[in-house]
């Protein structure tokens, strides 16, 4: 009995000591947390070292005898190899009565297989190796790409070269691609955001401009297999291509592989760069409206024709973007946070590489807040023209612009893509460092100067996609003339042309 009591007392004593130790540890931990909290700085008081100049990974640029430009950027971090070929073409060069032709070429070039491999066999070989070969054509360029494990590079690269040089353009795959495009035409009015984007481009560039026109049933019906072949034969030559390869490879072996697969591809000595389409703003101003009775909110776009990246004023305009946009930007703070008028709000000077882009502002708002939202966004555009930005706004915008710029170079593939793009559009090799230095040198006076020079409220087009019955007060509070836009899809699907 005595031993039992003694053990019980020892047990209680140990428990007490454990509790006491735990309590002491907790108090010490809490004290340390309190001390840390006292020492912690607000995020606005944090100081960081200035960003250094972007350091590009090592790469090599050379040309094959047939004129193909090649970039090699070895990177052995992962056992992967990827490559992209940029082709000087684009849907802006397709005939106006065959809109959709370039997209079909880009699709069927891959889906239709090659003269050596059927589509099914091509897919089977790639799937067995967890590899891919893809092709496409966008507004201003065509592309072909591959991704492969290092051990399968030779096999996949040969298929990639085969797709580029020997596409079969099977009729059945063309028919399938046209059916899929018809399906996208039938669904194109399902999303109000897509409606707004599409119709706004038409207002800025014009319905018939390559930068504003859309694929229709009628234009698809005009496209035959021979049209695809002719388009391909017009642009797909080695002296019209920039090839970039990045990943885990030996440069000398890769050069041999490139020479083996592309060296005998004959150049076109008569190849000429087609003239770029002329661009003028189609509508100089006005309020335009797409009625969607089912909507309880409005999609709003406001803007006018813009400029190009190579403008000496682009860095200052990009800093202006930083003042207007994002958390802490004027539009977010004023229109969304203080006035509570927007789900999303933005205003960007959005240039292009070789043709004028747009200045585009807008966002999404409640139907009953539409008019006030438009007034508030327009007021902020006028304010940045009228008064210099504060030193705090300048510092915030420059830091956010430069910091986001760095994220374009997180891996070699991103850097290689940018280098190829600059060569494709004829930009100087030091464009990156020039831009970074120009942003760092931008002043508040520069921001006001470019805002006054480039932002033109009197030329701004306003487009609203929303419910006419729910927008109260009505859009006529903004202008006596509100122009409705009919988005009815013209024509009906018919049999494909052979």
- Is residue 153 within 8 A of residue 249, CB to CB? The reply is yes
The Cα 315–Cα 196 span in angstroms is 28
> Does the bond joining 490 to the residue before it have cis omega, within 30 degrees of 0?
no
Share of the chain above pLDDT 90, in %: 81
DSSP state of 167: B
Confidence bin at 403 (pLDDT 50/70/90)? confident
**Does the structure show a pLDDT above 80 at 6?**
no
Angle formed by the axes of helices 444-454 and 391-406, nearest 10°:
80
Laid out side by side, the sheet with 297-305 consists of: 344-350, 358-366, 297-305, 461-466, 286-291, 482-484
Confidence bin at 19 (pLDDT 50/70/90)? very low
174-219 per-position pLDDT tens digit: 999 999 999 999 999 999 999 999 999 999 999 999 999 999 999 9
**Does the structure show a pLDDT above 90 at 392?**
yes
Backbone angles phi, psi at 425, to 5 degrees: -95, 5
- Is residue 286 within 8 A of residue 461, CB to CB? The reply is yes
Identify the residue with better confidence: 55 or 164: 164
Q: What b/e sequence results for 5-31 when a residue is b if at least 16 CB atoms lie within 10 Å of its CB, and e otherwise?
A: eeeeeeeeeeeeeeeeeeeeeeeeeee
- Is residue 473 within 8 A of residue 298, CB to CB? The reply is no
Tell me which of 221-230, 361-370, 422-431, 488-497 is least confident: 488-497
Backbone angles phi, psi at 75, to 5 degrees: -155, 110
Residues 6+ apart with CB under 8 A from 353: 140, 308, 309, 310, 421, 424, 425, 427
Pairing of strands 69-74, 60-63: antiparallel
> For residue 296, how many other CB atoms are within 10 A of its CB?
10
**pLDDT recorded at residue 3:** 40
**Does the structure show a pLDDT above 80 at 362?**
yes
All domains of the chain in start order, with CATH: 60-191+205-262 (3.30.830.10), 286-484 (3.30.830.10)
Token pair in block for residue 249: 């490879």
> For residue 226, how many other CB atoms are within 10 A of its CB?
11
**pLDDT recorded at residue 28:** 40
Selection from 77, 147, 161 nearest residue 412 by Cα: 77
| Furthest C-alpha separation in the chain | 111
Residue that is written with structure tokens 């897509």 in the block: 194
The Cα 385–Cα 407 span in angstroms is 30
């Amino acid at each position: 009995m005595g031993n039992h009591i003694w053990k019980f007392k020892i047990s209680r004593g140990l428990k007490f000591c454990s509790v006491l130790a735990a309590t002491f540890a907790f108090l010490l931990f809490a004290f340390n947390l309190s001390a840390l909290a006292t020492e912690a700085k607000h995020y606005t008081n944090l100081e960081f070292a200035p960003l250094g100049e972007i350091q590009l990974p090592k790469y090599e640029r050379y040309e094959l005898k047939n004129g193909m430009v090649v970039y090699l950027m070895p990177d052995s971090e992962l056992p992967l190899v990827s490559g992209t070929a940029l082709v000087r073409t684009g849907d802006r060069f397709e005939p106006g009565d065959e809109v959709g032709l370039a997209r079909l070429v880009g699709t069927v070039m891959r889906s239709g297989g090659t003269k050596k491999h059927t589509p099914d066999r091509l897919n089977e070989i790639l799937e067995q190796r967890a590899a891919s070969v893809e092709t496409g054509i966008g507004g201003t360029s065509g592309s072909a790409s591959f991704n492969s494990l290092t051990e399968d590079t030779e096999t996949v690269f040969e298929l990639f070269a085969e797709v580029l040089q020997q596409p079969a353009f099977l009729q059945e795959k063309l028919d399938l691609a046209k059916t899929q495009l018809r399906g996208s035409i039938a669904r194109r009015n399902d999303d109000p955001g897509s409606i707004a984007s599409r119709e706004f481009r038409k207002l800025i560039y014009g319905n018939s401009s390559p930068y504003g026109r859309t694929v229709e049933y009628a234009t698809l019906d005009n496209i035959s297999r021979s049209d695809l072949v002719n388009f391909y034969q017009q642009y797909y030559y080695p002296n019209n291509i920039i090839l970039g390869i990045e990943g885990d490879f030996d440069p000398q072996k890769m050069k041999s592989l490139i020479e083996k697969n592309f060296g005998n591809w004959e150049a076109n000595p008569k190849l000429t760069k087609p003239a770029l389409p002329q661009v003028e703003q189609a509508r100089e101003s006005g309020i335009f409206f797409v009625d969607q009775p089912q909507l309880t909110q409005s999609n709003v776009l406001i803007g006018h024709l813009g400029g190009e990246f190579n403008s000496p004023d682009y860095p200052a305009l990009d800093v202006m973007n930083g003042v207007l946009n994002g958390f802490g930007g004027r539009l977010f703070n004023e229109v969304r946070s203080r006035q509570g008028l927007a789900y999303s709000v933005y205003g960007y000077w959005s240039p292009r590489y070789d043709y004028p882009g747009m200045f585009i502002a807008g966002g999404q708002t409640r139907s009953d807040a539409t008019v006030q939202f438009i007034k508030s966004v327009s007021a902020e555009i006028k304010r940045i023209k009228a008064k210099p930005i504060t030193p705090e706004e300048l510092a915030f915008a420059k830091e956010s612009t430069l910091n986001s710029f760095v994220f374009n170079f997180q891996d070699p593939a991103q850097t290689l893509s940018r280098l190829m793009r600059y060569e494709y559009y004829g930009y100087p090799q030091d464009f990156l460092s020039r831009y970074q230095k120009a942003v760092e040198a931008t002043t508040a006076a520069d921001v006001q100067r470019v805002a006054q020079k480039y932002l033109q409220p009197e030329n701004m087009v306003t487009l609203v996609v929303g419910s006419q019955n729910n927008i109260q007060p009505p859009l006529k509070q903004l202008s006596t003339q509100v122009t409705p836009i009919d988005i009815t899809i013209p024509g009906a699907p018919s049999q494909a042309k052979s």
